[in-house]
């Protein structure tokens, strides 16, 4: 008897409006506690796959089951509660520049109704993990690229999700920063968090091992 | 519970920040809402005052009935029975003899002099409880049906006119409420639309990390509701100020008619209703604006 996969992707095709087929017939299962690298050239469909898992986009055909829930058919009112279980790290950061580092990380907790000292403690713990504790009052715009990247990570993990989807978390970072971040991910993984990390960086994948899924022109190569 | 309260407080704070962020635009919007509210409210207050003023001359709404040649006891009996009716407030019986005395008292004694006998009939003056034209006519018709009654006079024309004018005024108030209420909601929706546009990044991120529609909507609803409430207060204030400005000239007009009249503002209940209404419309406008924005996001 094998454990039920955390994520089950079967024969998924995604065609964007305009007809471009970003993903063709992808099938993939991911077990709880796995750390999976998603790789492929620019435009291969990595971001699209992550968005499908997080129900940000819907599959054109096939189905995606996450935690026993059919993501493609999920009703609108259920979406927020589904997303709260997922830590999302966006390729384009999606930080809010009109508020402090602290408030950016507070946002997911606030949305879930965690407030006061409880929330502040958790925000500081998350900032501490990514080494930004001394910058909590800063505006994100004053942070370096690597620091912004880490801020995204803090925001993704502050609500302690069991699944983290990281879209190119080490892009544009020099090697030392990239390694910092990867070490952090490995530490999460060691405490049981399932991670899917998309990246171009083959060296990084080789260094950290783990499972690798390669996409090319929307097709699964390995 | 605590989290719920904290969230509502936070939404209020966000709404307050929106006000502070654009004080001039906010003041202008409040003024526009105030004017929109003050028009129907002012007209309504005017009507209430008119109705009250008309109420002061109500006793004129009378039904006068003249008897045929019957003896006084019989006429008085009819008067007594009419007095018992629920729709009759007062009955004044004026006998033949009293009629002459009244003429004399009015300085018209000459008229009666030289007449072989008292030409006046016994007369009944009825004051109905209700002064609507319908009630007056109904009472008159019934009294006229009595075989002892020769003739009935109803002076209801002016009451009919007044009632028609009042109805017109009330219809106008209703129409203004509809049109300007819609305008209030639309103004609010437009303000909120601009706010949503300014905060679209925040809304997008919030949705991506699990915010419900309610969570996103709440600060905007607060803003719309509060803007409606404050705008309603502004409208109420406009009506009060207008009343104060008119008070003097109204008193002069009343004095010229030899009476006293004080303008009344809106009652506590009416004020409450007005504020409730403007708050609800602001809230509604915000609800629609956010609803549309949320649907566009999908
Ligand atoms: N919203 C969209 N509408 C239309 N086409 C899109 C949309 N998003 C992505 N695409 C297209 O789908 C394909 C896959 O895009 P995706 O962003 O998934 O690639 P990626 O592997 O993440 O690339 P990168 O490494 O550059 O981030 C691309 O050809 C892209 O142009
Ligand atoms: Mg991408």
Tens-level pLDDT at each residue, chain A (222 residues): 456 788 999 899 999 998 889 898 989 999 999 999 999 999 899 999 999 999 999 999 999 999 989 998 899 899 999 999 999 999 998 999 999 999 999 999 999 988 888 899 999 999 998 889 999 999 999 998 888 999 999 999 999 999 999 999 988 777 887 888 888 899 999 999 999 999 988 888 888 888 888 888 878 787
Query: What pLDDT score does B56 carry?
Result: 58
Question: In a mutagenesis test of the B interface, which of A95, A111, A122 is the best target, namely the one with the most B β-carbons within 10 Å?
Answer: A111
**At residue B57, does pLDDT exceed 60?**
no
Of A76, A83, A115, the CB nearest to B209: A83
Cβ atoms within 10 Å of B59's Cβ, excluding its own: 11
Measured in whole angstroms, how far is the alpha carbon of residue B23 from the centre of its chain? 34
Name the residue of A21, A26, A46, A92 whose CB sits within 8 Å of the most ligand 1 atoms, as the mutation to test its pocket.
Answer: A46
Name the phi and psi angles at B153, rounded to 5: -110, 130
Which ligand sits nearest to residue A45's alpha carbon? Answer: 1
- Kindly list the distances between the CA atom of residue A80 and the CA atoms of A38, A216, B214, in Å, as whole numbers in the listed order: 25, 31, 11
Rounded to the nearest whole angstrom, what is the distance from the C-alpha of residue A42 to the centroid of ligand 2? Answer: 7
**Of A100-109, B135-144, B177-186, highest mean pLDDT:** A100-109
Q: CB B3 to CB A80 under 8 A? A: no
Q: CB A80 to CB B208 under 8 A? A: no
Q: CB B205 to CB A113 under 8 A? A: no
Predicted complex ipTM? 0.90
Rounded to the nearest whole angstrom, what is the distance from the C-alpha of residue A84 to the centroid of ligand 1? Answer: 24
From B37's Cα to the closest Cα of chain A, the distance in A is 36
Query: What pLDDT score does B266 carry?
Result: 85
Q: B279 Cβ partners below 8 Å, 6+ apart? A: B225, B226, B228, B229, B232
Give the span between the Cα atoms of B294 and B298, in whole angstroms.
Answer: 7
What is the pTM for the complete model shown?
0.76
Measured in whole angstroms, how far is the alpha carbon of residue B47 from the centre of its chain? 6
**Secondary structure of residue A134 in the 3-state scheme:** helix
Name the phi and psi angles at B58, rounded to 5: -50, -40
Which ligand sits nearest to residue A42's alpha carbon? Answer: 1
**Secondary structure of residue B153 in the 3-state scheme:** strand
Query: What pLDDT score does B71 carry?
Result: 84
Give the span between the Cα atoms of B41 and B51, in whole angstroms.
Answer: 15
Q: Where are the alpha helices (DSSP H) in B199-212?
A: 200-208
Query: What pLDDT score does A1 carry?
Result: 40
Give the span between the Cα atoms of A80 and B213, in whole angstroms.
Answer: 9
From A206's Cα to the closest Cα of chain B, the distance in A is 31
Ligand 1 atom having least distance to the Cα of A41: 25
Pairing of strands A69-70, A61-66: antiparallel
Ligand 1 site: residues with CB under 6 angstroms? A 16, 18, 20, 22, 40, 42-48, 91
From A116's Cα to the closest Cα of chain B, the distance in A is 9
Query: What pLDDT score does B1 carry?
Result: 67
Q: Atom 31, ligand 1: which residue's CA is nearest?
A: A43
Of B3, B211, B298, the CB nearest to A115: B3
> pLDDT tens across B101-136, in order?
877 777 766 666 667 677 788 888 888 887 777 788
For the ranges A68-77, B53-62, B89-98, B285-294, the lowest mean pLDDT is seen at B53-62
- Kindly list the distances between the CA atom of residue B266 and the CA atoms of B42, B162, B227, B243, B253, in Å, as whole numbers in the listed order: 9, 21, 21, 10, 21
3-state secondary structure labels for all residues of A81-104? HHHCCEEEECCCCCCCCCCCHHHH
Ligand 1 atom having least distance to the Cα of A20: 5
């Amino acid at each position: 008897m094998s454990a039920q996969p955390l994520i089950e992707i079967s024969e998924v095709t995604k065609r964007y409006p305009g007809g471009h087929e970003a993903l063709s017939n992808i099938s993939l299962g991911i077990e709880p506690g796995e750390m999976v690298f998603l790789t492929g050239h620019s435009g291969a469909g990595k971001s699209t796959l992550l968005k499908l898992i997080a129900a940000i986009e819907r599959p054109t055909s096939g189905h995606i089951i996450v935690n026993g829930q059919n993501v493609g058919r999920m009703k609108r009112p259920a979406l927020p509660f589904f997303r709260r279980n997922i830590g999302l790290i966006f390729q384009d950061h999606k930080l809010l520049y009109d508020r402090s580092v602290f408030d950016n990380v507070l946002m997911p907790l606030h949305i879930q109704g965690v407030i006061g000292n409880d929330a502040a403690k958790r925000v500081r713990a998350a900032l501490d993990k990514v080494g930004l504790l001394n910058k909590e009052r800063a505006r994100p715009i004053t942070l370096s690229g690597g620091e912004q990247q880490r801020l995204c990570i803090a925001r993704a993990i502050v609500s302690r999700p069991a699944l983290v989807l990281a879209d190119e978390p080490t892009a544009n970072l020099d090697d030392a920063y990239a390694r910092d971040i990867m070490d952090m991910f490995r530490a999460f993984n060691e405490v049981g968090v399932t991670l899917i990390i998309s990246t171009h960086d083959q060296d990084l994948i080789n260094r950290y091992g783990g499972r690798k899924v390669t996409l090319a022109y929307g097709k699964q190569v390995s | 519970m605590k989290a719920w309260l904290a969230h509502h407080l936070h939404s209020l704070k966000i709404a307050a920040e929106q006000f502070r962020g654009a004080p001039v635009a906010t003041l202008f919007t409040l003024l526009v809402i105030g004017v929109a509210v003050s028009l129907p409210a002012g007209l309504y207050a005017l009507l209430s005052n008119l109705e009250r003023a008309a109420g002061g001359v109500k006793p004129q709404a009378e039904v006068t009935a003249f008897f045929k040649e019957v003896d006084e006891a019989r006429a008085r009996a009819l008067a007594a029975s009419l007095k018992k009716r629920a729709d009759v407030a007062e009955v004044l019986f004026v006998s033949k003899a009293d009629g002459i005395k009244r003429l004399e008292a009015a300085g018209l004694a000459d008229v009666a002099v030289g007449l072989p006998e008292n030409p006046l009939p016994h007369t009944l003056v009825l004051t109905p409880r209700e002064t609507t034209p319908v009630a007056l006519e109904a009472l008159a018709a019934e009294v006229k049906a009595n075989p002892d009654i020769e003739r009935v006079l109803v002076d209801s024309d002016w009451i009919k006119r007044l009632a028609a004018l009042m109805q017109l005024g009330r219809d106008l108030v209703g129409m203004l409420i509809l049109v300007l209420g819609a305008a209030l909601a639309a103004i609010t929706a437009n303000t909120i639309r601009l706010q949503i546009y300014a905060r679209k990044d925040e809304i997008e991120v919030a949705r991506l990390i699990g915010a419900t529609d309610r969570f996103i909507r709440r600060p905007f609803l607060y803003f719309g509701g509060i803007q409606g409430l404050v705008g309603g207060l502004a409208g109420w204030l406009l009506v009060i100020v207008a009343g104060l400005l008119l008070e003097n000239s109204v008193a002069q007009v009343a004095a010229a008619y030899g009476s006293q009249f004080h303008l009344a503002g809106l009652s506590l209940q009416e004020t409450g209703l007005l504020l409730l209404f403007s708050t609800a419309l602001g809230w509604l406008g915000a609800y629609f604006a956010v609803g549309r924005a949320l649907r566009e996001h999908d």
